[in-house]
Structure formats: structure tokens, C-alpha cells
Amino acid sequence: METLAFLFQWGLYALLAVTAVAAVGVVTLANIFHAALCLVAVLIGVAAVYAALSAGFLAAVQILIYVGAIMTLVIFAIMLTERIATPASGTANRLVFPAALGSLVLFIVLSRLIFSTAWPLRPGGNAPLTAEDLGRALMGPYALPFEVISVVLVAALVGALVIARKDRP
């Protein structure tokens, strides 16, 4: 079984490498349609990492929501926007430096958070997290955050409707 574990480990490294290459492609490719396709590859790669970490439900939901719904809408928007998918329209503009600054701040905050967290191991060891566990957690200790998120989503929906409304009174 050691050989299997070895293959699994190197497969995971290969997957991470492909994901990283695709992530670089998202920000460097000139054609925005190709960049969007690279983003799809990144999201699928992240889902595969979730699956490798025994979080199968999270992986499936990642693909369902990010790849199946959000990226579909992003590409839909790209195809509806005239000329944006032609090679002439670049992905870089003069907001590069403020964006880089913002990304740097986010990177520092996230890395500080990652290194200051203790990452306690779950008592069950390496047992996969099932949908049932997640459901109980969402309906029990995390019921309030769950409800707050749904309120935020409703607010976003109503806001989108208000913006997209045709006839203004």
C-alpha cells in the first residue's frame, strides 16, 4: 500500500502544479475568454484538492457553484459583451498598481492568519467529513451565520433587481 500512497502524493503535487500554472494563466493571458477558461481549471483543481483532503461534499459543491453556475455566468457575460473577447482588448490597464497594492495587503493578512491559526486535528482522525456532519453543524451551532448569509443573499438579489429594472418611477 506504500506504493499507492506514494503515487497519491505525487499525483497531488502534479495537480497543485497544474493549478498554479493555470492560476498564472488567469492573470497573464491577453484574451479574456482564455483567462476565464484558466479560472475554470483553477477552480476544478482546488475542488480536486478538497477531494484529496477527504472533503468530498465541499469539492462537489465547489464544482456545482463555482464551475457550474458562476463561471457559466462569467463566460455568458464575456460572450454578450462585444469585442471584449477579441485579442486586442487586454486584461491590464492603469489600475495595475493599486490592484497590486490591494493584493499585497490581502496576501499579508491571509498569511498572518494562516500562520497564527493552530489547525487542531479533528478527533475522528482522517475520517471523511460527510454531508450529514455539515448539515448538523449548519442547523446547530452555526444556525445564526447561516441565516445571516441567506439574508445577505436576498439583499443582493433585491439590489440586482432594482439596478436591472427598466422603468424608473
Partner 1 sequence: MNTIDQIFVVTKQGILRIAGLFLPEWLVAVKSALISIVAIIAFAVVTMMYLTWLERKAIARMQNRIGPNRVGKWGLLQPVADAIKMLTKEDIVPHRADRVVHALAPVLMMIPALVLFSVIPFGRGMTAVDLNIGVIFFIAVSSVSTLPIFMASWSSRNKYSLLGGMRTAAQMISYEVPMVLSAVPALLAAGTLSTHGIVEAQGGWGGTGWYVWTPWGLAGFVIFFLCAVAECNRSPFDLPEAESEIIAGFHTEYSGMKFALFYMAEFMNAFTLSALAATLFLGGWQGPLLPSWLWFLIKVYGLLLIMFWFRGTLPRIRVDQMMSFAWKLLLPLTLVNIFVAGLWFLTGPVVRIVSSVAILASAVFVFTRLNRKYLPEKRTYRFGD
Note every long-range contact of 29-36, with CB atoms under 8 Å and residues 24 or more positions apart, other chains counting.
29/91, 30/87, 30/90, 30/91, 31/85, 31/86, 31/87, 32/78, 32/84, 32/85, 32/89, 32/91, 33/75, 33/78, 33/85, 35/91, 36/71, 36/74, 36/75, 36/78
- Residue closer to partner 1 by CB (options 23, 74) is 74
Does 69 help bind partner 1 (rule: CB under 8 A)? yes
Angle between helices 32-52 and 2-28 (to 10 degrees): 160
Interacting residue with partner 1 among 11, 90, 102, 128 (CB under 8 A):
128
Does 68 help bind partner 1 (rule: CB under 8 A)? yes
Interacting residue with partner 1 among 10, 76, 107, 142 (CB under 8 A):
76
Q: Which stretch binds partner 1 (CB under 8 A): 52-60, 89-97, 111-119, 147-155?
A: 52-60
Q: Which stretch binds partner 1 (CB under 8 A): 12-20, 114-122, 126-134, 140-148?
A: 126-134
Closest distance to partner 1 from the beta carbon of 130 (Å): 6
